[in-house]
Structure 1
Amino acid sequence: MSGTASRVAAQQVFTNRSDETAAFARSLDELHASLDAAAISPVADRVQGRRNVLTFYGVGGIGKTTLSHELERRFLAEAEAEGRNDVVSVRVDLSEEGAHDIETLLLRLRAGLGRLGSHWPAFDLALASYWARAHPGEPLQEFLDASPMVRRASRSAGLSEQISQNIGALVPEVGGLAGLAQRAALLVYRAIRERVRAGQLLAECELFAELIEADADYESLSFFPYLLAWDLDRQAGRGTRPKVCVFLDTFEFIDGRVDRTAERFLQRCVYLMPNVLFVLTGRNRVTWADSAVQGELDFTGPECWPNLHHSNTSSEPRQHLVGYLSESDAHSYLCEALTRDGDPVMPADVRERIVSGGQGLPLYLDLSVSHYAELLARGRRPGVGDFGGSFTAVATRSIRDLPREERDLVRTAALIDRVDADLLRAGQPSLPEGLIARFLRRPFLTHDDAYDLPHSLHLALRTAVRGADQGLPDGWSDRDRTDVAARLLRRLGERLGESAGRAATAQALALGLRVADSYGVFDDWLARAAQRLVAAGQWTEIGAGLTADAAGVPEYRAIRAAIQGVQLRRSGHARRAVEVLDGADAGIAPTSLTAQLVRLHLAHALRNHGDYNRAAEYYRGLLSGEFASAARYWLADYDYLNGRFATALAALEHRPERDAADEGERLRLIGHIWRVNARFDKATDAYTRAVALARTEGLVAAEAKALANLAQTTCWSGTVDAVTEAAVRGKELLDLVPNPVELVKIRSAESVGHAVAGDRTAALAALADTRELADGIGYRGGHNLADVAAVLISKLAGDLDEARRVRARLDDRTRASGGNTYWVPIMTTWIEGVDAAAAREPAVDWVDGSAPALARWARIGEGARRG
């Protein structure tokens, strides 16, 4: 233990918790007996109460994690002794970075189950369909390799090969896992969906078709455990029922938080997999069976979880309070932990003193054993006076006995969830490499090489270190902790780099935000990482385990608000997004990157909500900062919305583009300008180039937008087939990347197309749909598009009074919002002619002059009348 040659043998000791191990064995037996006896599998009968959760809870340091590991070890050892190869376990520590991410959790479950065999068709095909839509252009293999825990689990099971085999066998045209990386996402989704709709694929799996058709988001994904359970049931139908245990440790990191989204997703997983035993260990009793939590989670009350209710004291699996070790168990532990020639090293009086002070707390005993070994390594003969006292006293003693440099290292390790030599060196840059390497071999540090940061202190010890430190002469002040935490945070950002993948970015962000929240430090890389995830369209929950208000770190609150605002805006709730973002940068320096991030997304939300004037104010305020390029683009858009077309075109021509996504946005805005100037040839050219660029780069969302715009252009041609073609292609892509705003645009284009072609019935139907969709998502701009179609329809019917009423309504709305004001003179050409339109205010700066542009629009109105 000390690294010094010695006849003393140290070993890990598990004190036999007979009640807990017996409860685990009974839980397995009773769960499988009920599954075998069930007339209808509880997987299919989703109303049955669930009896698949075994809970061990108790205070920190009581040995819950050790118990969990020992139960898993015995579970697998017994299976090996019996020669069974249909027994698997999956372990998830919920304190890990990214452990709350439903994608990561499901892939770890699938990898674990893959050790039972390769046949998991329902889940694998649904995953392929989901991944194609949720991550267009991102290879699944890269995601599997990005997370250390997923990588280790997937490689041990050959997960990539299994998924390829299932996809290739059932839908050969997809091309297996490689197809997810190399082929267009639309083709993957289409191939699977068409087979499902034709009833040719897994029709007997009740929820399969519904989940294939559902939106590709976390809400839908959280129901995929049903598919795993269904596939597992099929495994049972081919012979002996497999035994599967999922061990969820440190459950306190997920339960009872103010935002219970992560717990809700995980609870769905447990409920939908009733043929799997979930073993939960944490500090708190699980409250799922309590009626008081109804409404916060999906499945609550004793009907759903009969064995978890506090009234159940006998049926297994159930909830168990993990107690302190008995005196005899504690003595046995100390006798076995350090031995010489098979005999206990610790004298009886020392053992008695430790047992008396520890009161059966296993972590207390661990620290006392480490302290004893350290004293032996120094050549001392430990005595009774060296032991006893409170847990904090033991922690203090353990720290005090370390050399001064190592005391600083243990304080550094206590500031953050996980460390390695590089991070410790960042925290203590003056210390030599050799000393850090020796420190990492200390027994109070746990090691798991599956992580990029493989070392950690026990959570209870991390908490105790700060209190213990106060009694030492060289103890750190709050300022010392803050300074070291800032160095750790800075180094995390440097390690991340600009080219890091999504999974690595999300994990680093979660770890960094916990440091920021705990010690009142911050670094701009956190804001950049958050924006990187936003730009990639990823909604991985960040800040897991942080306090709800994070009172000491306004930057954290601001980033959280920015993420929430983006989620709301992109799901069509622009008004709510404005409410969340407005004022979220309070208490932050206006020039800080975090404040700019909030204002950028507030401007986007205001624009979606139809408040173009206020959005423009925020964009102007960002012109000198990191988001200046985005601000200039949206100000050009603001010029376009207000009819300053020449100004907007000039800005776009001289705007440097950073990537393909930027160039696509530029082409689309150029197309908008030509479209409202009735130069449909130039608009079509710009949009067609944007479609081609997006398709080449795999930017499905951008391609869907460009196709919606193409439909808005072709609708003026009077050829319904042209608008229909673009609309159909756009809607197909919006199956992959749902965007309700673009659906409003497409439906309004169809209304205009039918109006121009003279089909009043079809035009009215599309018009009604446009308004309904716009109202459903709070998109006021959708009513502007609907009004344009309404005026054409009224003119077609010869009802000019109604056309004037709609125009007046649109005039009021666009003047108030500060955008789309050019539609009023366009409509006027249809109602009263070009001269009247040219005389109307506000004036419009048409690209090639007022007369030619208005004449082009007037001809469209005349065509509509003739039709």
Structure 2
Amino acid sequence: MAGRDLRALFSTNDRQVEAGEAFTNRQGQWQIVQAALGEHLGRTAGAGFDVEDLEAPRSNVLVFHGVGGIGKTTLSRTLEAALTGTGSRPVRWGEPSWPARPALLPVRIDLARSAGVDFERVVLTLRLALAAHVGRPLPAFDIALRRYWEHQHPGESLEEYLSRGGLTARFGKALPQQMQSALGDVAQALLLPGSIGSAVGQITGALTSALRERRQTVRALAGCPLLADLLDAEPDIDALSYYPYLLAWELARLPADKAVVPVVLFDTFEDTGDRTHRDLERLLQRVVWLMPNAFFIVTGRSRLQWADPALQGQLDYTGPTAWPGLTQQAVPGPRPADGPGNGRQVLIGDFSPQDCDTYLARRLVKDGQPLIGAELRAVITDRSHGLPLYLDLAVLRFLELRRAGHIPAPADFDADFPALITRTLADLTPDERHILRSVSLLDAFDLPLATATAGLSHQAAAARLVERPFVRENPYALWPYHLHALIRSTLRTADDATDDRWTDADWQAAAERALAALGEQWRTTSGPGRRLLVGCLRQGLALARDHRLDLGWLTDAAYAYTDDYVWEPLPLPARTDDGDELATPADALAELLSTLARRQHEHRARTADRLTTILDTGLLPAELTEMALYYRAKAHRDLGQSAASRDGMRQVADGGGRLAPDAARGLAHLARAAGDFPTALATAHTLGWPGRGQRVLGDIHFAHGDMAQAAAAYTAARTEAEQHGNTGEQAIAQAHLALTLAFTDPAQANAEVTLAEQLLAGLDQRATTLTTQIAALVRDAGTPGPDIEERAALLRTEITTAGITAAALLLELALVLHHTVRGDTTAAQGDIARLEELTRTGNYAYYVDIAHFITGLPAAGPSPAHWTDGPQTTRQRWRTLVTARHNTPNAGS
């Protein structure tokens, strides 16, 4: 279905351009209309339906709501055309599913302020549509309406009013004639003399008396129990709002060949008022309630709140009992009447990319081909985020560029439309507008965060705002609400020409409030824990970066992020200034944390280079400079660059900051790497939990082959981590425990490896994952078949990619054990050769000693290691492990 786009036609001199109002599929909405209308027809045709029942729940309304410019009015017009049955239905919608009888009578009424429609005009439009369709008087209603008109419009004929307002041109002149006929019939039945036109008051008075006296002369109207009361009432606008009861009663009495079901389409419903002033909405709700045999399709920006009990007193009929369908969303497809899923609130969604392209291709056509090329359509579609209003504005920009003699290019549409702001803010209160701008700074929010960001003391405005269709909700997200992507980006970047537009200082103040509010949520909220920390960091870093804010609580949050060794990715949205250089402390901190997370997926040399770049900027404050120094020193250690690592660790340890205990542990590791076990052991006893002393002790005992003490130390380290709620440290300790037991008790190691894998689930610890995989290899050492070699080859490739020397050493040691148990001395010598190559710098040279201990092969020279128990005791422990593995069933077979 397409009409003429007059704005486009009057924007160009090119008469070959065809401008059409393209309508996209909206198949899902049509399915919902079909299902709801089918339910309505079935219900009203049932034996139990009573049009005079004023207490029964109502299911005769369907609501389509969505942001401004989403296509609600186009949908309303298309539905009106589709329901006429004249072939104007979009082809893809197919044929309707309801019976041919009774006939449907679509009546569309635009309630926009610009249309100038008041309640009188609404009632007259309904009656005029029926007059044209039914072709006969509806006496109960017509007499009441004539009395109202004579009282409210003395001296003004209804005929003149209808003609002047354009209603006669739309519906014809049948209504005045039908009303005159109804009055004449009643006057004749009551045997009243005189002119009908001058006797309206006399006729209605006599009719009221006759109805109350139950005279046979008016038996045709006597079945309408409330007619007399309505004729007795003051004929004002309030009484008029109850006259639709008479209309419904008359419709129910029509003969089968005249039977009709009005389908009333109220468009632009948001213009009926606001949450405080509901006068027109109250009158319209009475129409819907009092005409249960009519069906109403409402389109507007907001969902109908009639099912909210809190509106009692503002509206006549409220609550979920009165409007059961308005408590839930509708879904496409047929549903049993009044059954589960019979929701009547429908959020109009964005266009799909395919619909966007179709819309743009059909809007402007020249010589049968789309005027807007495919490449440009793709750019506009991507920028629109599926919002039809953006597409419409893009078409006008396209024509404006052509009018200026410019060939439109993709770069011309790399901008926002201020009109989007105007349309979005149009019906919001000042507080709602203030909150909307404030939360546009946030990726997602909840009511407290929105209120604090806006600097308000109460949540009422935020609670109202989140009910708007441009606010999307995900109840399972950390913060449940987020703005429509295009509206958010436009609010933040487009030139705002509204009366209450913000200055740069206003935006800066809001950003400061938002950052402070995020920090307060992180510090005071219990429950989400790590999830909240990461969420606050992501939003807080983006705010601090884009608005050049002081880091404040972000420093503490950064340390909390690194303390747990979980390493979730921290992707930030693109910079608002499109720059990619590190320019602020927030830039540097974001890059630091991102580097620490990425190091689990890239070579440690790349990590060291990134951290050096960050340090060279000098942007980080002292506390965070310490963090970058420490993790660069760790990267150097993993790369086997002990001197550089030792310098970094010493600098951090001497600084006495938060990472001083970690740096002391790093120095202990470096002493162990150099074979200086006495120094490493002495340091380990001073570390405690802050320096992960038990884990360091486990590493030292493991190197000595003292697996019992190593297992005890790792178990104690895991227990401490569990007590402190540190899942990352638990996984590290458990992986080393699994490795230790894999050497001594493969059967028990199986369960420990499984536990390590479970603890690693959801974490991003590359080195610990490698340790766990090597533990599984050690557990299986000595078993026949090529499996061990294949697994080892894959691990060697992964370790080389990561650049983690310690993992490479452990892998070769595992293979030494495997080949020794298998009796393959040649392969074991090859493993030792690779160990010698890995330790050429002198770091971890004791691994070559351990390999000789395991194989029993003589060493080429004296050991550089300073064993705490002496080399002979250490040799005996490692050799005993091999003997025990030989005695294990199936080992080496």
For normalisation by structure 2, the TM-score amounts to: 0.46
For normalisation by structure 1, the TM-score amounts to: 0.47
Higher relative contact order (CA 8 A, sep 6+): 1
Structure with greater Cα Rg: 2
